[in-house]
């Protein structure tokens, strides 16, 4: 049986994941369950970034934060000073930031999460240091709270918004009813939550029967609260980690589809 995957990750990462999975023999349906929009207050972002050179640290929470930063750099001629240290929550974000700045970027080697970032040696003594974090709306506050507890001066700048997409769901609802995919991949809690919203109450019982691959135990716990029944956790958010889970679960998926 060919495993068919519903990928909910937004572009460009979503299309890249689909290409990776297809190359490994999986079929994919791409349904981005969130879209990335501009920040709600662009003036506020521009004003904050004007003070970037005064910071000791610039931390980017996601790849989308890097894309937003790049856009602001191009639009406003922003140059990131060499005096500002750079950090990212995950390897993918770090790679993009390194490509943008051609600088060293600190990131957790394995635990690509806020907790993993906070465990890095460079963040154990940040008292009196100025830290700017670039993220989307409705982000977690664990970094902010912990850095404040460690006596740092923290500024959180929302450089993009996660939005519920507006789309015709009927084709995807038909695919669900026709068993056109048998496993879901979702790399954020917003993505998992929006998936339930988009399919609606009428299709929820069928949707929740499908196993969902997520990228952290935190998202797993939140997905259980939403009512999803079977949730598997990838080691991290990389294409390789997600495809590894799919390979490991081929037999389980075959048994579940019988």
Domains of the chain (ranges, CATH numbers): 4-34+165-257 (3.40.50.10090), 37-162 (3.40.50.10090)
- For residues 247 and 24, give the distance between their C-alpha atoms in angstroms, rounded to a whole number: 9
Q: Is 95 helix (H, G, I), strand (E, B) or coil?
A: helix
Mean pLDDT of 199-227: 95
- For residues 128 and 2, give the distance between their C-alpha atoms in angstroms, rounded to a whole number: 55
Is the predicted pLDDT of residue 16 greater than 70, yes or no? yes
Share of the chain above pLDDT 70, in %: 98
Helix 63-76 crosses helix 91-101 at what angle (to 10 degrees)? Answer: 20
Q: Is 107 helix (H, G, I), strand (E, B) or coil?
A: coil
Could you tell me if 35 and 58 are in contact, meaning their C-beta atoms sit under 8 angstroms apart?
Answer: no
- For residues 145 and 160, give the distance between their C-alpha atoms in angstroms, rounded to a whole number: 21
| Peptide linkage before 12 cis (omega within 30 of 0) | yes
Order across the sheet with 231-233: list the strands: 27-30, 4-7, 183-185, 212-214, 231-233
- For residues 246 and 243, give the distance between their C-alpha atoms in angstroms, rounded to a whole number: 5
Note the pLDDT of residue 80.
Answer: 92
- Detail the DSSP E strand segments found in 96-248: 130-136, 153-163, 183-185, 212-214, 231-233
Could you tell me if 194 and 212 are in contact, meaning their C-beta atoms sit under 8 angstroms apart?
Answer: no
Mean pLDDT of 201-213: 96
Note the pLDDT of residue 253.
Answer: 82
Q: Is 22 helix (H, G, I), strand (E, B) or coil?
A: helix
Note the pLDDT of residue 258.
Answer: 61
Closest by Cα among 88, 126, 123 to 108: 88
Q: Is the dihedral of CA 116, 219, 149, 103 positive or negative?
A: positive
Share of the chain above pLDDT 90, in %: 84
Least confident of 1-15, 42-56, 189-203: 1-15
Mean pLDDT of 163-189: 94
Note the pLDDT of residue 78.
Answer: 87
Closest by Cα among 220, 224, 170, 180 to 200: 170
Is the predicted pLDDT of residue 52 greater than 90, yes or no? yes
DSSP 123: G
pLDDT in tens, 64-114: 999 999 999 998 888 899 999 999 999 999 999 999 999 999 999 988 889
Note the pLDDT of residue 257.
Answer: 67
Classify strands 153-163 and 35-37 as parallel, antiparallel or unpaired. Answer: antiparallel
Residues 6+ apart with CB under 8 A from 245: 213, 232, 233, 234
Note the pLDDT of residue 68.
Answer: 94
Note the pLDDT of residue 31.
Answer: 97
Is the predicted pLDDT of residue 256 greater than 80, yes or no? no
């Amino acid at each position: 049986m060919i495993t068919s995957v519903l990928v909910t990750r937004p572009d460009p990462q979503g299309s890249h994941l689909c290409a990776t999975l297809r190359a490994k023999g999986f079929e994919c349906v791409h349904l981005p369950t969130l879209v990335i929009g501009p920040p709600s207050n662009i003036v506020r972002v521009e004003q904050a970034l004007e003070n970037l050179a005064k910071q000791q640290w610039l931390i980017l929470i996601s790849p989308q934060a890097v894309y937003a930063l790049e856009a602001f750099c191009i639009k406003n001629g922003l140059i990131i000073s060499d005096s500002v240290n750079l950090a990212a929550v995950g390897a993918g974000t770090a790679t993009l930031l390194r490509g943008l700045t051609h600088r060293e970027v600190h990131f957790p080697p394995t635990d690509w999460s806020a907790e993993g970032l906070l465990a890095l040696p460079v963040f154990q003594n940040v008292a009196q240091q100025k830290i700017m974090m670039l993220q989307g709306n409705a982000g977690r506050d664990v970094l902010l709270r912990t850095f404040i507890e460690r006596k740092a001066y923290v500024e959180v700048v929302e450089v993009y918004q996660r939005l519920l997409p507006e789309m015709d769901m009927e084709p995807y609802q038909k695919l669900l009813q026709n068993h056109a995919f048998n496993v879901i991949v979702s790399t954020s809690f917003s993505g998992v939550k929006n998936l339930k919203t988009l399919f609606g109450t009428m299709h929820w019982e069928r949707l929740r029967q499908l196993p969902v691959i997520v990228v952290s135990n935190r998202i797993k716990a939140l997905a259980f609260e939403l009512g999803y029944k079977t949730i598997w956790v990838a080691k991290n958010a990389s294409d390789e980690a997600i495809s590894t889970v799919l390979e490991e679960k081929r037999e389980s998926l075959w048994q579940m589809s019988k």
